[in-house]
Amino acid sequence: MGTNKRERILQGALELLRVEGGGTITLDAAARQAGLTKPGLMYHFATKEALMLGVVEYVAERWELLLLARLDGPLESASPYQRIRAYVEVALTERFDRADFAIFSDAVYRDALTDTWVRRFEPWLTVPGGLPEPDRARLTAARLLADGYWTAAATGVFPVPEADRARVLAIADHLMKDETS
Q: Do residues 136 and 127 touch, judged by C-beta distance below 8 A?
A: yes
Span 88-107, pLDDT tens digits:
999 999 988 888 888 888 87
Q: Looking at the structure, do residues 34 and 74 belong to the same domain, yes or no?
A: no
- Domain assignment of residue 139, yes or no: yes
pLDDT of residue 3: 63
pLDDT of residue 18: 83
Q: Looking at the structure, do residues 25 and 61 belong to the same domain, yes or no?
A: no
Span 59-99, pLDDT tens digits:
999 999 999 999 989 999 999 999 999 999 999 999 888 88
Q: Looking at the structure, do residues 27 and 61 belong to the same domain, yes or no?
A: no
- Domain assignment of residue 88, yes or no: yes
Q: Looking at the structure, do residues 82 and 151 belong to the same domain, yes or no?
A: yes
The total number of structural domains that make up the chain:
2
Q: How far apart are CA 114 and CA 105, in angstroms?
A: 9
Q: How far apart are CA 15 and CA 98, in angstroms?
A: 10
Structural domain boundaries, residue 28: 1-46
Span 132-166, pLDDT tens digits:
999 999 999 999 999 999 999 988 889 889 889 99
Q: Looking at the structure, do residues 40 and 95 belong to the same domain, yes or no?
A: no
Q: Looking at the structure, do residues 148 and 105 belong to the same domain, yes or no?
A: yes
Answer whether residue 181 shows pLDDT above 50: no
Write down the mean pLDDT value for the chain.
89
- Domain assignment of residue 181, yes or no: no
CATH number at residue 98: 1.10.357.10
Answer whether residue 20 shows pLDDT above 70: no
Q: Looking at the structure, do residues 60 and 143 belong to the same domain, yes or no?
A: yes
Angle among Cα 12, 16, 20 to the nearest 5 degrees reads 140
Q: Looking at the structure, do residues 15 and 101 belong to the same domain, yes or no?
A: no
The stretch 29-52 carries a mean pLDDT of 94
- Domain assignment of residue 180, yes or no: no
Q: Which long-range contacts (CB under 8 A, 24 or more apart) does 142-147 make?
A: 142/84, 142/85, 142/88, 142/172, 142/175, 142/176, 143/84, 143/87, 143/88, 145/88, 145/171, 145/172, 145/175, 146/87, 146/88, 146/91, 146/92, 146/172, 147/91
Q: Looking at the structure, do residues 166 and 80 belong to the same domain, yes or no?
A: yes
Q: Show which of 10, 27, 46 is a domain's final residue.
A: 46
Q: Looking at the structure, do residues 84 and 137 belong to the same domain, yes or no?
A: yes
Q: In 3D, which of 73, 87, 152 has the Cα closest to residue 124?
A: 87
Comparing 136 with 19, the larger pLDDT belongs to 136
- Domain assignment of residue 70, yes or no: yes
pLDDT of residue 1: 35
Q: Looking at the structure, do residues 66 and 88 belong to the same domain, yes or no?
A: yes
- Domain assignment of residue 97, yes or no: yes
Confidence tier at 21 by pLDDT (50, 70, 90): low
CATH number at residue 8: 1.10.10
